[in-house]
Structure 1
């Protein structure tokens, strides 16, 4: 898709709601759309929005095996609440195996080499495998500008992902915690506040799946 086409689409969708953006996106490829999740705080929002349009939409989840117990409980509550068509992808190396070879503990944000190793082996490889096997033409994400300040100016609701040759849809880019909390309350959705991603370290660093593996062309 050309930059001109993307610009035109984003202009047309400029005043559209997240639900309207998702409806438009799924209409482009109703049999080939997915939504991705890591079950971090507020993930129930994007999953609820996506399933409102397509209840059986595949939800790709990379379970690297070292999530906190609260995250797994949240994932199960959300799966049950939304009847998610969850597609978990696991690394080829178990979490216990990786930890045994890498100091016994998940990496901290300042441990650059360990973070890079964890990201590459435990998260990026299964993500790439999942994307190739599911082969989406439309990929719906929970990206928000607030959480991606280093790329905020380049993010658009509709983008083109060159690596996976699909539309990358970011319907809640502009939402802040105020909108997210209100949506959770309105729809009685589960949430959790305790989350740690060893592939990036904290809430303000961008997810490796978007920053390292994927190339967006506008």
Structure 2
């Protein structure tokens, strides 16, 4: 008598979230405050499935404080490109301790890839897209592997490419949440003051958007907050975020 046919192993490749799901979330939370929205999602359907991703930059404390007010055990992901300002690393540690986060996850570039693709450490100077892919995008992809959703600190006012930023996006099968998409600088400043949050030490020196040290410069009065990023290059995003094409009518 023959052996029964072996059951085939099936791998579920269905995305956790689709563009339609993101648009439904956008409609569901229309008019709901960022704080209320985060509370409902973090203690509800996304509990254990979501991480907060932070650059610990000039405005990061606001969103991180909101998350900590709900659940300090939410994983916080930081990609250390190994080109960061020392001030950013110190601020990261200060803020994470002050807010009480219990699960700060630091991801770095793959050293094997660095040895192959950026042996001199100067790729940023002639191929910033390739450098970002190597030092930011690839580490973040590894960091987000266990999660179905992630929280981003982007805001619509930061640059012309972000003006149509929605609160919810689909990103590689995950739900990307931008709770502060419709916040402006005045609202952020008021939140900093109300909750006595520490500022990034470089902000007072004119660095309004802070990334890697070689590709970050001071911002002149009247410029977009992100004008100091990749100055002299035709580049506006690091690759983690693409310029949004959101259309609420689609």
Cα offset for 1:46? 0.9
Q: Alpha carbons of 1:129 and 1:15: their partners in 2 closer, same or farther (altered >3 Å)?
A: same
1:160 and 2:170 aligned: yes
Q: 2:129, 2:238 within 8 Å by CA — same for their partners in 1?
A: no
Which one of the candidate residues 93, 104, 120 is aligned to 1:86?
104
Which one of the candidate residues 136, 139, 148 is aligned to 1:126?
139
**Secondary structure at 1:101's aligned position in 2?**
coil
Which one of the candidate residues 158, 167, 170 is aligned to 2:178?
170
Q: 1:118, 1:199 within 8 Å by CA — same for their partners in 2?
A: no
Q: Decide which moves more: 188-197 or 81-90.
A: 188-197
**Secondary structure at 2:105's aligned position in 1?**
strand
Per the alignment, residue 120 of structure 2 pairs with 101
**With structure 1 as the length reference, what TM-score do the two structures score?**
0.81
Q: Alpha carbons of 1:51 and 1:199: their partners in 2 closer, same or farther (altered >3 Å)?
A: farther
| Distance in 2, Cα, partners of 1:166 & 1:199 | 31
**Secondary structure at 2:32's aligned position in 1?**
coil
| Distance in 2, Cα, partners of 1:159 & 1:183 | 25
Cα offset for 1:121? 1.4
Cα offset for 1:131? 1.1
Per the alignment, residue 19 of structure 1 pairs with 35
Per the alignment, residue 77 of structure 2 pairs with 60
Q: 1:200, 1:206 within 8 Å by CA — same for their partners in 2?
A: no
| Distance in 2, Cα, partners of 1:216 & 1:58 | 28
Which one of the candidate residues 181, 187, 190 is aligned to 2:189?
181
Give the length in aligned residue pairs: 206
| Distance in 1, Cα, partners of 2:131 & 2:33 | 36
Q: 2:132, 2:239 within 8 Å by CA — same for their partners in 1?
A: yes
Q: 2:79, 2:136 within 8 Å by CA — same for their partners in 1?
A: yes
Q: Alpha carbons of 1:99 and 1:3: their partners in 2 closer, same or farther (altered >3 Å)?
A: closer
Q: 1:18, 1:171 within 8 Å by CA — same for their partners in 2?
A: yes
**With structure 2 as the length reference, what TM-score do the two structures score?**
0.71
Which one of the candidate residues 26, 29, 51 is aligned to 1:10?
26
Per the alignment, residue 140 of structure 1 pairs with 151
Higher relative contact order (CA 8 A, sep 6+): 1
| Distance in 2, Cα, partners of 1:7 & 1:64 | 32
1:32 and 2:43 aligned: no
Structure with greater proportional helix content:
1
Larger radius of gyration: 2
Per the alignment, residue 69 of structure 1 pairs with 86
Q: Alpha carbons of 1:48 and 1:61: their partners in 2 closer, same or farther (altered >3 Å)?
A: same
Unaligned runs of 5+ in 1: none
